[in-house]
Structure 1
Amino acid sequence: MDSPLPSGTTKRRLELRLVRAPFTWFARPTVTIDGVGQPAQWGTGTWAVPDDGDTVVGVYLYNRVWRFGAVSVTVGRADVLEYRAGLLPVGAGRLGPPEG
């Protein structure tokens, strides 16, 4: 039986760009990697993902009242993704390859 590798031993990193919408009403993003949530900040960051196989990446926003803008995608060998929150704090955001 293979034992799990210690934290920080993965070689694959995913760059995620979190683009803030004008009307997010003090919302903060949370990134989920294979269902495990991790607090994030607006801007560009990197996350460790499993070296092999597909990974489910999700992002949602929350403020003190509600959670919104949730979206998730399954990525294979993608290295860069971009999340864009909706214009208003309702509905889903967009997560995919960077625009432009």
Structure 2
Amino acid sequence: MEATQPSGTTKRRVELRITRPVLTWFARPTVTIDGVGHPAQWGIGTWAVPDDGGTVIGVYLYNRVWRFGAAERSVADQSVLEYRAGPLPFTAGRLRSSG
């Protein structure tokens, strides 16, 4: 198992724009980076990702009852991604490159 690196050693960052849907059902977004979940907020944020190789970034919504609107994408060089949830809670979201 690899030792964790000290904070500030990652040089690559990805900007993620999480757009709030019309009906959220009190949901909060969660961002996953290579399968590890991190709580997030609506709006624009930046996330540190490993410098080497493709990283899988995912977003889903969670409202204490169920998970919905999941979307994921492998990023190799994109620096700006935009997430939009599906119109209904049982549909998938979209995570696309913007800009």
Aligned residue for 2:25?
25
- Give unpaired runs (5+ residues) of structure 1: none
- Give unpaired runs (5+ residues) of structure 2: none
Aligned residue for 2:83?
83
Aligned residue for 2:95?
95
For residue 71 of structure 1, report the CA deviation from its aligned partner: 1.1
Distance (Å, rounded) in 2 between the aligned partners of 1:17 and 1:61: 14
Distance (Å, rounded) in 2 between the aligned partners of 1:42 and 1:67: 16
- The runs of at least 4 aligned residues of structure 1 exceeding 3 Å deviation read none
TM, length-normalised to structure 1: 0.90
Matches within 5 A, 1:22-61: 22-61=22-61
Aligned residue for 2:62?
62
Distance (Å, rounded) in 2 between the aligned partners of 1:90 and 1:4: 37
Residues 36-71 of structure 1: per-residue CA shift (max 9 Å, x gap):
100000000000001121000000101021110111
The number of equivalent residue pairs is 98
**Aligned-residue CA RMSD in angstroms?**
1.5
**Could you tell me whether the CA contact under 8 Å between 1:59 and 1:72 is conserved in 2?**
yes
**Could you tell me whether the CA contact under 8 Å between 1:10 and 1:48 is conserved in 2?**
yes
Taking structure 1 as reference, are residues 4 and 25 closer, same or farther at Cα in structure 2, changes over 3 Å only? closer
Matched residues, percent identical?
70
**Could you tell me whether the CA contact under 8 Å between 1:24 and 1:88 is conserved in 2?**
no
Distance (Å, rounded) in 2 between the aligned partners of 1:27 and 1:4: 31
**What secondary structure does 1:65 align onto?**
coil
